Amino acid sequence: MMMQKNWDADELMDNLRKGTKEANKDRIAKGIEPIEIIGWIEKPTYDATNHRLIWSAAIQDIGTNEPLNEQGVNYNTYLPGT
């Protein structure tokens, strides 16, 4: 099976933001601060040697102006097709 090597970073970011917005409903219901995705730290890249898709995004609580060293990171490694 041939794996896609060029990922649409903008589309993926839109999907991450939509998913986060939906997940925030559960966070709020549980008394947890909602979060927002600020942007890419590392845009999606496909590692053909190891057959994995990697990306990371900066996150923070909604409405805060936290300094960069206080923001969170969502780091993902996916093994497509496994």
Residue 30's pLDDT band, with cuts at 50, 70 and 90, is very high
Question: What is the mean predicted confidence (pLDDT) over 53-77?
Answer: 83
Residue 74 — φ and ψ, nearest 5°? -110, 105
Question: What is the mean predicted confidence (pLDDT) over 35-57?
Answer: 92
DSSP code at position 71: S
Amino acid, res. 45:
T
Mean pLDDT of the chain: 86
Residue 39's pLDDT band, with cuts at 50, 70 and 90, is very high
Distance (Å, whole) CA 24 – CA 26: 5
Q: Is the predicted pLDDT of residue 2 greater than 60, yes or no?
A: no
Q: Is the predicted pLDDT of residue 11 greater than 50, yes or no?
A: yes
